[in-house]
């Protein structure tokens, strides 16, 4: 029994508890910025620690919790995402009316939930991890107490999220009924393709697709993305989605191997609908956060395309895409926060003249958006190349063609933002302040996006190691 | 280090220049322009050096550099030039150098302008020197976004709004490239079994000789590539972005777009389409020839009735691309020579045209032909440039346009006599609309309202001198161009003859 | 004889559970719905007893009927209203909802009928609390601890959200 495998999760939870305690000790009117720095430093420490864990492949608690390169890769995505999110949201959190310390603490708990999801090797741990993440998000989404939109979003997310969790849990009970176990390896051993098993599997997948916001399970996303505080929108878009993906990958490729015969048709259709629907609806949005919601729906569609190929190269491409998707999101949301601070709202027209007020953020925003669109030499292109070449190899040429056409069409709405940034003159003549941590986060995202796009070798290798550690392959 | 990485230096020069510019203060307008000019001068010098040092007798790829890049995809960073890419490279830097000076009068947000311009030029340069498809794609689409932003900020909304024309240009080209991307991925996956995959153009070309690519596959994939490159080349009916796009774009973008970017389409068709998928090329060649004739005649007709200077030249360039396409479709050495030569010639003259239109518009604030007239009185130098470009465009012997066009017709006549005759008749339209423009804009009675317009002077003359002298020199000594091109086409000739001998599928119907 | 008693008990409990569940949805008075929900939970705990899951049955009554249902009633009392008429209105499309539910029901019925079920031959565990406790504190440690963290998060969230808006 090797409890050190849990070190990073324990560290994050302890960090969160520490922040709660310090929050109580700090004088009431003192700024909570220091807690934010502490959280960021702690996360950075944990991230550095996880880098030393590569190559480990071990389980604790009778195989219910596993740590392999695959889990580590996802944990690093979450840790990087939260680290960069913390960096760009200090100012935002300072603008909150109350409970700033708790904001940081809850964010960290959500990340702990995601990390448990990445390592979970049985359906119960998956469920608890998912709940830890989503329950925390229910609270965080409604954190802007003076905004009715935020409260509404929190309430909606709670109701819809609970329904999806219930569906997931119901599916788990069916699978348990059919196989007599909830541990992935045991399920694989007893798996059959009886109707009951398929039904349970379908319910679980539907629950996870809800977390990933794939069409037709996407209805919650736009409202909640718009209403939530921007750092939470960022974490929903990066964390919730990618964590759902992590669970889905491990589950499909370890527990439900016999189901893969039924898998291809459904997933290819859902991916196609998601890519088309997300792109088409995003074109009509005037609010940047709503647009990003639809954009993230589309992105999820691209990501699950990689699942179709059902081999190591497919998983690798998904992992690769998840990482670059995270970096692109950081760039976009950092800019959104800076602009929101300047203008006080999130409409696309508020980006007017950003190119003249803050050339760096203008470039970061453009590069990040184009990375999502998959334009070379940004990272998104390499990602799409990996994803679609694996499925074209499996004979889904139509899906590859559709994916590329859709991504080029999506350039339309991304460029509409770019147009506002570059063409229009600034509408408010006051100094545009970009705080130092935000600038650092934006710069990291920019450099990472370009680096991965131009020289994807190292990340591809890392993703490859991670993909191969899913031992069944 | 065995030899100086010349091609890397040529490609990096604009990028380094752009990086340097981004650290300059926004107000340092003159320094920004000087730095850009200097950067392009360095690039131009290096390319001329390469052009001189290229060994005709040896032929093939020279100045080759190769580094491993992405192991698991089989991408390597291979640079190299031969007789096909070197003229294109020269064209790029010549036009790039001229655009810096043609944009000398831009004062609005000049820092951003020149940064974008240099990035754009680096992208185009990279496309022509890389020998790896992945790297080719990186550069290929790198150019799209700077162009969009440049059209938005510095473009003009005369007949269509610049937002519209910029977006149309971008989306058209990107959609085309989506098809091309799928084609390239398909090619990548099928050329070699997994484990040996590569994006290297030479290796992919060998895949065909090894018989890894079936005829049906080649036909399908070539079709995808044809959509991609065809839309970039403004092949009929995928051409409609071109006149609108040029009309909205600032002078520099029009020059680069008409001068060089379109040529990437032709270059790609030859380098990727023909050399890697010859059977596909053979199948589609008759169709391409048919579309080429449509290009020549349809765009020629439309150009006749345009009232906006930029639209005339825009449609004229669409029409000229028809010649390139029919030369390509002939699939013989002569036609290929002519096609590549014409790409170079057309690049120079359309860039000169757009530069001159830019000056006229800048001074008179109109591009509307009926409003203009008698400009030769006030602006003799600009008029000279106009005349040179116009005469080259209608293929006057002694200027650069004649020899390549003539070669194309010789090559094409052998394969498609009817199409070639139709295309030749297109020259009449060309002569008509060019002479009409020249007569209406330059000649006629002196108009007093333009008396205040100064002629081009100082640095403004650089594009005129550079491009004009290339027009004349390469026209008088065609061997300088055609010799180089021929050294690139020569090795393909046996390959092409063999291709003709190979049994044809359905495409033979049209022969 | 035993079997017959079990069967009769099962059908009675099942009928109570389903009927009260339908009542929860269709009643227009929220208090009635809440009370019916408590009844539904008790019915389910009866089913647990039949399955010899004694601990689960006790927890079901304690937590669900005892805490959850009562909490809801408390919540209703705290939000003051003159009349409880029509506090639990139906959705806008009762027919659509009925059709979807019926479809789902049919699908589940088909799935149940078509699946070859395995029956466990082993005896039911005696003294379930200690078995469960051992599992929770050994194999399912991670889930258990994570659930504790989840509770903490939920508690903090309750405080934050409940007190957050008051000063506005």
* pLDDT single digits (tens) C64-95: 888 888 888 888 888 777 777 777 777 778 78
A251: distance to nearest CA of chain B, Å?
26
Q: Residue A65 and residue B464: Cα distance in Å, rounded?
A: 72
Q: Is A398 on the interface with B (CB under 8 A)?
A: no
Backbone angles phi, psi at A60, to 5 degrees: -125, 170
Most confident of A280-289, B321-330, C14-23, C117-126: C14-23
CA angle (A368 as vertex; A367, A371 as ends), nearest 5:
85
Three-class SS of chain A: CCHHHHHHHHHHHHHHHHHHHHHHHCCCCCCCHHHHHHHHHHHHHHHHHHHCCCCCCEEECCCCEEECHHHHHHHHHHHHHHHHHHHHHHHHHHCCCCCHHHHHHHHHHHHHHHHHHHHECEHHHHHHHHHHHHHHHHHHHCCCCCCHHHHHHHHHHHHHHHHHHHHHHHHHHHHHHHHCCCEHHHHHHHCCCCHHHHHHHHHHHHHHHHHHCCCCCCCHHHHHHHHCCHHHHHHHHHHHHHHHHHHHHHHHHHHCHHHHHHHHHHHHHHHHHHHHHHHHHHCCCCEHHHHHHHHHHHHHHHHHHHHHHCCHHHHHHHHHHHHHHHHHHHHHHHHHHHHHHHHCCCEHHHHCCHHHHCHHHHHHHHHHHHHHHCCCCCHHHHHHHHHHHHHHHCCCHHHHHHHHHHHHHHHHHHHHHHHHHHHCCCCCCCCCCCCHHHHHHHHHHHHHHHHHHHCCHHHHHHHHHHHHCCCCC
Pair of tokens at residue A261: 């015969």
Quick check: bond before A377 cis, omega within 30?
A: yes
User: Inter-chain contact B182–A389, Cβ cutoff 8 Å?
Assistant: no
What's the Cα-to-Cα distance from C26 to each of C21, C42, C69, C75, C93, rounded to whole Å?
9, 19, 17, 20, 13
Return the SS3 of B396.
Answer: coil
Strands (E), B3-70: 62-70
Lowest-confidence segment of A98-112, A328-342, B237-251, B322-336 by average pLDDT: B237-251
Return the SS3 of B46.
Answer: helix
Q: Residue A366 and residue B302: Cα distance in Å, rounded?
A: 37
**Mean pLDDT within B429-451:** 82
Is residue C20 within 8 Å of residue C39, measured between CB atoms?
yes
pLDDT given at position B509: 38
User: Inter-chain contact A376–B153, Cβ cutoff 8 Å?
Assistant: no
- Region class of C127: left (phi > 0), else alpha (psi between -120 and 50), else beta: left
CA angle (B499 as vertex; B402, B237 as ends), nearest 5:
55
Is residue B307 within 8 Å of residue B369, measured between CB atoms?
yes
B1, pLDDT greater than 60: no
pLDDT given at position A330: 93
Q: Which residues of A touch B179 (CB under 8 A)?
A: 401, 404-405
pLDDT band at C19 (very low <50, low <70, confident <90, very high): very high
Find the CB nearest A376 among B73, B141, B170.
B141
pTM of the entire structure?
0.90
- List the one residue out of A353, A41, A63 whose CA is nearest residue A182: A63
Beta bridge partners of A65: A60, A120
Domain boundaries, chain A: 3-468
pLDDT given at position B505: 46
- List the one residue out of B285, B508, B296 whose CA is nearest residue B421: B296
Backbone angles phi, psi at A228, to 5 degrees: -70, 155
Is residue B287 within 8 Å of residue B227, measured between CB atoms?
no
Is residue B379 within 8 Å of residue B456, measured between CB atoms?
yes
Is residue A408 within 8 Å of residue B148, measured between CB atoms?
no
C38, pLDDT greater than 50: yes
CATH fit for domain C1-84, picks 1.10.10.60, 3.20.20.80, 1.20.120.1200, 3.40.50.300: 1.20.120.1200
CB within 8 Å of B252: residues ≥ 6 apart: B99, B100, B102, B103, B113, B117, B150
C158: number of Cβ within 10 Å: 11
Q: Which residues of A touch C108 (CB under 8 A)?
A: 199
Q: Which residues of A touch B174 (CB under 8 A)?
A: 375, 408, 411
Return the SS3 of B70.
Answer: strand
Is residue B360 within 8 Å of residue B309, measured between CB atoms?
yes
Pair of tokens at residue B167: 């977006």
Burial code (b: 16+ CB inside 10 Å, e: under 16) for B378-405 equals bbebbbbbbbbbbbbbbbbeebbbbbbb
pLDDT given at position C141: 86
CB within 8 Å of B444: residues ≥ 6 apart: B373, B374
Name the residue with higher pLDDT: B370 or A226. Answer: A226
A305: distance to nearest CA of chain B, Å?
15
User: Inter-chain contact B171–A397, Cβ cutoff 8 Å?
Assistant: no
Tell me whether 0.90 is exceeded by the ipTM. no
Domain boundaries, chain C: 1-84, 127-168
User: Inter-chain contact A128–C116, Cβ cutoff 8 Å?
Assistant: no
Q: Residue B128 and residue B144: Cα distance in Å, rounded?
A: 16
User: Inter-chain contact B174–A375, Cβ cutoff 8 Å?
Assistant: yes
> Subunits that touch chain B (at least 3 Cβ pairs < 8 angstroms)?
A
Q: Residue A29 and residue A97: Cα distance in Å, rounded?
A: 11
Taking CB atoms and an 8 Å cut-off, how many pairs form between chains A and B?
A: 99
What's the Cα-to-Cα distance from A332 to each of A288, A300, B67, rounded to whole Å?
10, 17, 33
- List the one residue out of B394, B393, B390 whose CA is nearest residue B376: B390
Q: Which DSSP string do the residues of C27-90 spell out, in sequence order?
A: -SSHHHHHHHHHHHHHHHHHHHHHTT-HHHHHHIIIIIIIIIIHHHHHHHHHS--S--TTSSPP
Beta bridge partners of B76: B68
What's the Cα-to-Cα distance from A49 to each of A46, A67, A72, B90, rounded to whole Å?
5, 14, 11, 52
Beta bridge partners of A287: A347
A259: number of Cβ within 10 Å: 17
Q: Residue A125 and residue A119: Cα distance in Å, rounded?
A: 9
Task: Please compute Rg for chain B using Cα positions.
Answer: 22
Is residue A88 within 8 Å of residue A334, measured between CB atoms?
yes
> Subunits that touch chain C (at least 3 Cβ pairs < 8 angstroms)?
A
Q: Residue A366 and residue A359: Cα distance in Å, rounded?
A: 11
pLDDT given at position B511: 35
User: Inter-chain contact C139–A61, Cβ cutoff 8 Å?
Assistant: yes
Find the CB nearest B170 among A359, A415, A423.
A415
User: Inter-chain contact A355–B112, Cβ cutoff 8 Å?
Assistant: yes
**Mean pLDDT within B415-422:** 85
A141: distance to nearest CA of chain C, Å?
11
Is residue A82 within 8 Å of residue A235, measured between CB atoms?
yes
In a structure prediction context, what are the per-residue pLDDT tens digits for chain A, which is 473 residues long?
A: 678 888 899 999 999 999 999 998 988 777 888 888 999 999 999 999 988 888 777 778 777 888 888 999 999 999 999 999 999 988 888 888 778 888 999 999 999 999 999 999 889 999 999 999 999 999 999 888 888 888 889 899 999 999 999 999 999 999 988 888 888 888 888 877 788 888 888 999 999 999 888 888 888 889 899 989 999 999 999 888 999 999 999 888 888 877 777 878 888 899 999 999 999 998 888 889 999 999 999 999 999 888 888 788 888 899 999 999 999 999 999 999 988 888 878 888 888 888 888 888 999 999 999 999 888 888 888 899 889 988 888 888 888 889 888 988 888 888 888 888 888 887 777 778 888 889 999 999 999 999 998 888 888 888 888 888 885 54
B369, pLDDT greater than 50: yes
Tell the residue number behind the tokens 């209403």, with chain if given. Answer: A227
Quick check: bond before B223 cis, omega within 30?
A: no
Find the CB nearest A377 among B109, B138, B186.
B138
**Mean pLDDT within B422-443:** 85
- List the one residue out of B192, B147, B184 whose CA is nearest residue B169: B147
Return the SS3 of B57.
Answer: coil
- List the one residue out of B281, B285, B400 whose CA is nearest residue B349: B400
pLDDT given at position B502: 66
Q: Which residues of C touch A126 (CB under 8 A)?
A: none
Q: How far apart are the first and last CA of chain A?
A: 25
- List the one residue out of B453, B324, B464, B275 whose CA is nearest residue B388: B464
Q: Is C141 on the interface with A (CB under 8 A)?
A: yes
**Mean pLDDT within B136-156:** 85
Strands (E), B43-97: 62-70, 75-81
């Amino acid at each position: 029994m090797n409890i050190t495998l849990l070190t990073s999760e324990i560290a994050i939870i302890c960090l969160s508890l520490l922040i709660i305690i310090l929050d109580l000790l700090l004088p009431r009117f003192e700024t909570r910025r220091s807690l934010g720095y502490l959280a960021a430093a702690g996360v950075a420490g944990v991230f550095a620690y996880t880098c030393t864990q590569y190559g480990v492949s071990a389980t604790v608690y009778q195989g219910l919790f596993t740590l392999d390169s695959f889990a580590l890769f996802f944990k690093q995505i979450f840790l990087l995402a939260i680290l960069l999110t913390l960096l760009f949201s200090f100012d935002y959190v300072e603008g909150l009316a109350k409970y700033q310390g708790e904001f940081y603490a809850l964010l960290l708990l959500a990340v702990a939930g995601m990390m448990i999801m990445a390592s979970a090797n049985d359906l119960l741990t998956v469920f608890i991890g998912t709940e830890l993440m989503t329950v925390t998000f229910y609270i965080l989404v409604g954190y802007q107490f003076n905004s009715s939109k935020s409260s509404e979003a929190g309430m909606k997310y709670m109701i819809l999220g609970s329904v999806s969790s219930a569906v997931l849990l119901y599916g788990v009970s069916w699978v348990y009924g059919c196989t007599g176990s909830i541990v992935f390896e045991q399920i694989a051993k007893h798996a059959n393709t009886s109707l009951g098993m398929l039904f349970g599997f379908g319910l679980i997948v539907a629950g996870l697709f809800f977390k990933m916001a794939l069409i037709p399970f996407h209805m919650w996303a736009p409202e909640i993305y718009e209403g939530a505080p921007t750092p939470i929108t960022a974490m929903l878009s990066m964390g919730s989605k990618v964590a759902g993906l992590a669970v889905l990958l491990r589950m499909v490729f370890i527990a439900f191997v016999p189901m893969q015969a039924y898998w291809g048709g459904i997933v290819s259709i859902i991916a196609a609908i998601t890519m088309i629907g997300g792109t088409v609806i995003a074109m009509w949005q005037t609010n940047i956060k709503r647009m990003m919601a639809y954009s993230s729906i589309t992105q999820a569609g691209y990501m699950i395309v990689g699942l179709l190929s059902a081999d190591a190269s497919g998983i690798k491409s998904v992992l690769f895409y998840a990482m670059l998707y995270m970096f692109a999101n950081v760039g976009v949301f950092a800019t959104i926060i800076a602009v929101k601070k300047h203008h006080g709202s999130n409409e696309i027209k508020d980006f007017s003249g950003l190119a003249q007020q803050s050339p760096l953020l203008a470039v970061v925003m453009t590069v990040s958006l184009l990375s999502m669109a998959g334009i070379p030499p940004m990272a998104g292109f390499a990602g799409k190349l990996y994803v679609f070449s694996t499925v074209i190899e499996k004979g889904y040429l139509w899906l590859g063609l559709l994916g590329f056409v859709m991504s080029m069409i999506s350039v339309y709405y991304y460029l509409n933002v770019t147009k506002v940034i570059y063409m229009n003159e600034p509408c408010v003549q006051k100094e545009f302040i970009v705080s130092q941590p935000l600038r650092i986060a934006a710069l990291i995202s920019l450099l990472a996006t370009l680096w991965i796009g131009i020289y994807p070798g190292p990340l591809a290798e890392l993703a490859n190691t991670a993909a191969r550690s899913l031992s069944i392959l | 280090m065995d030899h100086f990485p010349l091609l890397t230096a040529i490609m990096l020069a604009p990028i380094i220049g752009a990086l340097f510019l981004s650290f300059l203060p926004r107000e340092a307008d003159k320094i920004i322009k000087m730095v850009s000019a200097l950067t392009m001068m360095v690039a131009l010098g290096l390319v001329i050096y390469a052009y001189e040092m290229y060994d005709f007798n040896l032929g093939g790829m020279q100045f080759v550099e190769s580094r491993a890049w992405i192991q698991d995809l089989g991408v390597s960073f291979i640079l190299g030039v031969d007789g096909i890419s070197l003229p294109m490279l020269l064209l790029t830097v010549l036009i790039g150098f001229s655009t810096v000076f043609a944009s000398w009068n831009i004062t609005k947000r000049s820092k951003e302008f020149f940064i974008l311009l240099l990035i754009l030029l680096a992208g185009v340069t990279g496309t022509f020197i890389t020998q790896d498809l992945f790297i080719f794609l990186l550069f290929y689409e790198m150019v799209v976004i700077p162009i969009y932003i440049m059209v938005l900020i510095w473009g003009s909304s005369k007949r269509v709004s610049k937002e519209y024309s910029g977006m149309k240009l971008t989306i058209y080209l990107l959609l085309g490239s989506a098809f091309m991307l799928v084609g390239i991925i398909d090619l990548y996956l099928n050329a070699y079994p997994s484990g040996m995959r590569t994006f290297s153009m030479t290796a992919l070309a060998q895949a065909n000789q090894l018989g890894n690519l079936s005829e049906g596959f080649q036909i399908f994939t070539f079709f995808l590539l044809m959509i991609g490159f065809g839309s970039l080349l403004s092949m009929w009916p995928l051409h409609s972005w071109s006149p609108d796009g040029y009309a909205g774009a600032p002078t520099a973008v029009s020059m680069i777009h008409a001068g060089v970017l379109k040529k990437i389409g032709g270059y790609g068709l030859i380098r990727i389409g023909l050399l890697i998928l010859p059977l596909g090329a053979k199948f589609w060649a008759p169709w391409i020839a048919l579309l080429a004739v449509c290009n020549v005649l349809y765009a020629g007709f439309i150009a006749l009735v345009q009232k906006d200077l930029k639209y005339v030249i825009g449609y004229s360039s669409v029409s000229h691309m028809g010649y390139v396409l029919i030369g390509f479709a002939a699939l013989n050495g002569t036609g290929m020579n002519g096609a590549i030569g014409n790409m170079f010639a057309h690049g120079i003259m359309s860039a000169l045209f757009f530069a001159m239109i830019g000056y006229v518009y800048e001074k008179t604030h109109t591009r509307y032909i009926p409003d203009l007239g008698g400009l030769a009185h006030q602006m003799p130098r600009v008029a000279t440039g106009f005349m040179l470009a116009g005469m080259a465009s209608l293929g006057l012997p002694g200027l650069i346009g004649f020899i390549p066009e003539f070669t194309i017709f010789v090559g094409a006549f052998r394969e498609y006599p009817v199409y070639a005759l139709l295309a030749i008749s297109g020259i009449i339209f060309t002569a008509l609309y060019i002479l009409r423009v020249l007569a209406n804009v330059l000649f006629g009675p002196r108009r007093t309202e333009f008396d205040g317009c100064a002629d081009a002077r100082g640095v403004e003359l650089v594009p005129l001198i550079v491009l004009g002298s290339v027009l004349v020199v390469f026209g008088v000594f065609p061997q300088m161009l055609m010799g180089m091109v021929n050294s690139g086409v020569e090795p393909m000739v046996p390959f092409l003859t063999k291709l003709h001998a190979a049994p044809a599928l359905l495409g033979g119907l049209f022969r | 004889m035993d079997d017959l008693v079990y069967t009769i008990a099962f059908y009675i409990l099942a009928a109570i559970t389903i009927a009260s569940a339908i009542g929860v949805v269709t009643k227009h008075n929220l208090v009635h719905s809440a009370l019916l929900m408590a009844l539904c939970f008790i019915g389910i705990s009866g089913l647990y007893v039949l399955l010899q899951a004694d601990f689960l049955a006790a927890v079901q009554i304690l937590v669900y009927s005892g805490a959850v249902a009562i909490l809801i009633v408390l919540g209703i009392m705290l939000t003051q209203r003159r009349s409880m008429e029509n506090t639990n209105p139906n959705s806008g499309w009762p027919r659509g909802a009925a059709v979807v539910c019926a479809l789902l029901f049919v699908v589940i019925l088909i799935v149940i009928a078509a699946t070859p079920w395995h029956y466990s031959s082993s005896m039911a565990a005696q003294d379930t609390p200690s078995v469960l406790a051992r599992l929770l504190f050994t194999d399912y440690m991670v889930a258990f601890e994570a659930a504790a963290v989840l509770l903490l998060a939920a508690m903090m969230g309750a405080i934050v959200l409940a007190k957050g808006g008051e000063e506005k």
